[in-house]
Structure 1
Amino acid sequence: MTTLNLPARDRAQLTCTGVRVDRGGRTVLHQVDMKIAPGSRWGVVGENGRGKSTLLHVLAGTLTPDEGTVHRVGTLALAEQEMPAEDERTVGDIVDEHLADARAALRQLDAAATDLAEARPGAEQDYADALEAAQTLDAWDADRRVDVALAGLGAVSDRTRLLATLSVGQRYRIRLACLLGAEYDLLLLDEPTNHLDLAGLEYLTARLRAHSGGVVVVSHDRALLSDVATTILDLDPTRDGSPRVYGGGYTGYREGREAELTRWEAEYELQQAEHTRLKQALSDSQNRLSTGWRPDKGTDKHQRATRAGALVRSVHRRQEDLEQHKVTAPVPPQRFHLPDLPARPGVVLLRAEEVTVDGRLHRPTGLSLTSGDRLAVTGPNGAGKSTLLSVLAGQLAPTTGRLHRSRKLRLHLLGQESPRATRRRAHDLYRRHTARLVSAGVLKEGEVTGLGALGLLSSRDANKAVAELSMGQQRRLALALALAARPHVLLLDEPTNHLSIALVDELTQALHTTEAAIVLATHDRQMQRDIHTWPHLSLTLPVEAVRV
């Protein structure tokens, strides 16, 4: 009989203890502890480069950690972010690979049934074992489960289709459907919401919530984490360098992370203040030693010697105090600070009247904005959301309708694409941008906000060439350039693209309080929830497009 890889179901478990991984002389993961049991759903978060994908490979057993142990019980599947571009397999081949044990179990059951009918020795036990294996795998229903998952994710179900003829998104959805249909004990998913539309996202969310085994999800999708994760592992920097585990799901993570950062910042500031005080005390003592100890003329030598010794001892004590006091708290991570954006009360800043753009913005659309206004632009892909923002920004002329802008209006559009990656350093690009704004009379010298004051890029990253920055860092730079003009109207097109969870939360909070007018288009489900009280402008596809 072929040995089957049977699920452990309620006995399944995946644990890691003290995991450390080093790469290129740098520690990527440090002191990671996890225990994934049936029904537990972990979310793993952190900035790019924090080792999230590396951790999944350690858990899956495809990467051996430099330190620590990993223990696995049960069947396990890993869905990486990337899939090979060249693939000669068919859709059916992928399905067969993931249902191999179910297929083998049914074959063994058929063979055992034949042996039982022929009354061969040991046939009864073989049949009982084969039946139990097939029942454990629910092998008879395996193909139907995969078909349901393929339909739920909007994936190609034709088993004869070559993977090489399909898009990256289609290939990813097929593999994800197979993982869900095969019902592994443990699912390790790396950014599983990539390439999914709203219906696919809702289906995936429901399936992960209903999954009886354990789930580990690496994701920047806050809505998925909010709806699915019961425990969050945060790999971003902490006070002691060890990752943090937060219970209470995504809400517990946000509250716990905020409390952690507040304590960290308070301790750092307290230690900095004490260090400054001790340095000043040493400086004062040294000054007294060099000038203040000299007594008046006529004072005897004994008094002069006694006073000098006391001052020397004071200096030594101050030096010892300063040497003993070390700033042990590392520098806390930066927080985003939205600059004060100006308001112009009583002025209609921007008004669009029945604008359309041939082939792109199909229905006449109008709006009016004053300082403090909020507007969420919604609609399916192709409805014209980005087109409308380009018209409002003056980058695209409408085919019909009119656009009115107030005099000296400051307006900026943060588009979906970041600036062209150049070899110019990020802070130089920012300085040249603000200098042009000043020379053009858009800003006064006193209104310029330094790049560091925004909390978007560290000084180290700001000193890099733009081409060397990650996608997330380039997106941060694009946001900094948008805010540099101190706009009265800020247009945001998918602003959460490539940004970290922490920054998106900080940005969302800032958008609720600024005095500027904000127009925002997004598919981000959590941001849509966060701005559900804003007025909405819903764009729709033309009838002929809907029919297609």
Structure 2
Amino acid sequence: MALISLNDVSLAYGHVPLLDRVQLALEPGERMGIVGRNGTGKSSLLRILAGLERPDDGEIQRQLDLRSSYVPQEPALNDDESVFDAVCGGLDDVRRLCQRYLEHAPGADLDALQNEIEALDGWRWEQRVQETLSRLSLRPQTRIASLSGGVRKRVALARALVALPNLLLLDEPTNHLDMDAIDWLAELLQAFRGAVVVISHDRDFLDRVTTRIVELDRGQLWNYPGNFSEFQRLKDERLAQEAVVNAKADKLLAQEEVWIRKGVEARRTRAQARIERLKVLRTQRRQRREAVGLARMEVNRGDAGGKLVAELEQVSKHFGAGEQRQTVVDRFSATILRGDKVGLIGPNGAGKTTLLKLMLGLLPPDEGTVRIGQRLEVAYFDQMRHQLDLDATLEDFISPGSEWIEIGNRRTHVKSYLGDFLFSPARAQSPVRSLSGGERNRLLLARLFARPANMLVLDEPTNDLDIETLELLEQLLADFEGAVFLVSHDRRFLDNVVTSTIVYEGEGRWREYEGGVEDWVQQSMRLHGRAPAWHPVVEAQVNRAPSATARSTPPTAPPSTATSRSRRKLSYKEQRELEALPARIEALETEQKAIDAALADGTLYGTDPARAAELVARHSEIEAALLQAWERWEALSTAS
């Protein structure tokens, strides 16, 4: 029997229905992901499932023993409480039952109370809280006011888990979590015995957690079995079928409109049925809700600037003094050039923002030297949205004092520009505070891209953005000719954008790796023989082949201290050789695998021994060539 069933449920704000007579059944043990564009009503649907919001129409059926816990996007916690007290808040009902039993409350059925408490494992409530805090690495006496966004999210999850729910409802749980915490959460949900419903735009997270994807699209729910990758394949098929059906309906409507305009023939009595059918076709066409279009993003590219963006030599940064001194950056060296797309990866509190400020020249180093390129025009995206003026209208926020925006050689009216980011002209005079979280992020991106820039600095730009907008942003950043610094915990977004990653390796040490997250994991495994120190890597990722991108490169051995301190510039010929080596190594490995497959079952030795001997010899040649290529790549990469 389903835990929750929605039958013909409807919900509307204004004239557009968010839910239009939808059906949904959630089975025990299911892990359902809800996806859809920003503003389509995903959070409202989750609140209806949690019993916190009532639909306008329809029926909701719940199992009698259903215990659900709901974790919103922004957890509502009391800043004055301790972590222990905040988590205990998830057991208020259990604690009240225990208190009534112990006080022998007048008129209470003690036997019934005892059964209810035991069914909820109520006598162990304090032990359960301590176990949960320990499992989530939370300190009981820490004040809520002192916690970061990621730790507050952990507290909210702990509060939900101690109630022993058989249904867990999570709204954007990965926002503000670092990669370590996202991995932890994915493993927790995989092991959770109850059902899970999660709203998320983190594609890798959805792939690892979900067993079904439900898409909310134009007021309807579309069900797709499997994880997010399977959803993408099935959705493409559905949209193609929908386009064919709509095209046929539009063609029939056009034919009938031509016929009705003939007038005399249409007024004959025997044509009345055809006229009625035309009315139905017109009604169906009016009621059809077209798919929401894609945003159109374009960066206002400024002066190209010089080739060099930043050069850091043995840079260190410390905070505090004496025993309280903390090293945030320890002897870090890097060269960033125009066109580089650099990802910064590290746990919350590691010092990513400090390192970013050092590379931008906004913070002086305590040791080492920083050289900043000429004519840099920086556009900065702030994850905390401090740049937002909530009382300004959308139009004034984008272009204060002017109705026009100039992007390159093109002059665009601000309403048209807002339309490129999916804001209708009617909303141009709406206040910023009326926007949802995803819409606010989209508005910040609109303002960011309207400013001339040859360098983009994006601090967690993916929070709250829907998947279609994420994919468009990925393409825009990949095509951007200037430099990009990207702080993000969305591994698929990083993999699709960055050409190198700077990774925190503990105690102020940072190291640059070629490629994205997948490449870093592979290189770290080969460098150290283990997963990165602070980042528990899922085995499937370790065994996955490295991505073959233009800048993805093979793993290297760690350079010696002397080498890293005396790095030299490569010649033009050496630089071209270094860039060509990954493709050569990949081609050799591909050929080697093909030979292995041809020789695998041994039949070739009997049917064509000469060919088999030729392949064996070629296999040995490839092995030697691969070894030489690896050594050459190591020598060039450590010298560059």
Matches of 1:277 and 1:489, distance apart in 2: 54
Structure 2's unaligned 5+ residue stretches are 102-110, 268-274, 320-327, 511-532, 534-640
Distance 1:33 1:60 in 2: 16
Pairing of 1:367-406 with structure 2 (within 5 A): 367-371=335-339, 373-390=340-357, 400-405=369-374
Hey, what does 1:98 align to over in structure 2?
A: 91
| % same residue | 29
After TM superposition, give the deviation of residue 235 of structure 1 in Å. Answer: 2.4
Whether the 8 Å CA contact 2:83–2:140 is kept in 1: the answer is no
Structure 1 match to 2:289: 330
CA contact (8 A) 1:356 1:401 kept: yes
Distance 1:260 1:166 in 2: 44
The answer to whether the 8 A contact 1:31-1:243 is kept is no
Q: What secondary structure, in the 3-state scheme, does the structure 2 residue paired with 1:35 have?
A: strand
Counterpart selection for 2:484 from 501, 506, 518: 518
Query: One-letter code of the match for 1:353?
Result: L
- Match of 1:204? 185
Alignment of structure 1 residues 11-410 onto 2, 5 Å = 13-22=3-12, 27-73=17-63, 74-81=65-72, 82-85=75-78, 91=84, 95=88, 98=91, 146-157=129-140, 173-193=154-174, 196-237=177-218, 241-260=219-238, 326=282, 327-328=285-286, 329-339=288-298, 348=307, 350-354=309-313, 362-363=329-330, 364-371=332-339, 373-390=340-357, 400-405=369-374
In structure 2, the residue matched to 1:479 is 445
Output the CA distance in 1 between the equivalents of 2:144 and 2:395: 44
Report if the CA contact (8 A) 1:146-1:182 is conserved: no
2-side partners of 1:276 and 1:428: how far apart?
43
**Does the 8 A contact of 1:351 with 1:369 survive in 2?**
yes
User: Is 252-261 or 76-85 further displaced after alignment?
Assistant: 252-261
SS at match of 2:173: coil
- Separation in 2, partners of 1:381, 1:489: 24
- Normalised TM-score (structure 2): 0.59
CA contact (8 A) 2:215 2:222 kept: yes
Relative to structure 1, the CA distance from residue 394 to residue 457 in structure 2 (aligned partners, 3 Å threshold; closer, same or farther) is: farther
Contact 1:60 1:76 in 2 (8 A): no
Which of the pair has more CA radius of gyration? 1
Please say if 1:536 is aligned against 2:514.
no
2-structure distance, mates of 1:491, 1:277: 54
Change beyond 3 A, Cα 1:86–1:25: farther
Q: Give the drift of 1:341.
A: 7.9
Higher RCO (C-alpha 8 Å, min separation 6): 1
1:443 aligns with 2:417: no
Matches within 5 A, 1:441-520: 443-445=408-410, 451-452=417-418, 454-485=420-451, 487-520=453-486
Distance 1:420 1:84, change over 3 A: closer
- Show CA shifts across 1:377-410 (max 9, x none): 22334444334545655666767421123x6x66
Distance 2:364 2:280 in 1: 67
Q: Could you say if the C-alpha distance between residues 338 and 184 of structure 1 is closer, same or farther in structure 2, counting changes exceeding 3 Å? A: same
Contact 2:32/2:197, CA 8 A, preserved across alignment: yes
Residues 457 and 476, structure 1, Cα contact 8 Å, conserved in 2: no
Report the residue type matching 1:460 in the other structure: A
The 2-side partners of 1:495 and 1:267 are apart by 37
Contact 1:156 1:170 in 2 (8 A): no
Aligned residues: 478
In the alignment, residue 66 of structure 1 is paired with which amino acid? Answer: D
1:38, CA displacement in angstroms? 2.1
1:424-476 deviations in whole A, cap 9, x for unaligned? 543455456999985xxx83347999515734433333443444433432321
After superposition, the CA RMSD in angstroms is 5.3
> In the alignment, residue 367 of structure 1 is paired with which amino acid?
T
Which residues of structure 1 form unaligned runs of 5+? 1-10, 109-125, 287-310
Task: Name the SS for the 1:235 alignment partner.
Answer: strand
Task: Determine helix, strand or coil for the equivalent of 2:373.
Answer: strand
Q: Give distance in 2, aligned partners of 1:492 and 1:375.
A: 10
Could you tell me how far apart the structure 1 residues matched to 2:440 and 2:296 are?
17
Is the Cα–Cα contact under 8 Å of residues 33 and 214 in structure 2 kept in the other structure? Answer: yes
Cα distance, 1:416–1:268 mapped onto 2, change above 3 Å:
farther
**Counterpart contact for 1:356–1:365, Cα < 8 Å:** yes
Whole-angstrom distance in 2 between the partners of 1:497 and 1:257: 23
Opposite residue 458 of structure 2, the aligned amino acid is: L
Give the match for residue 116 of structure 1: none
Post-superposition offset of 1:270: 8.8
TM-score by length of 1: 0.67
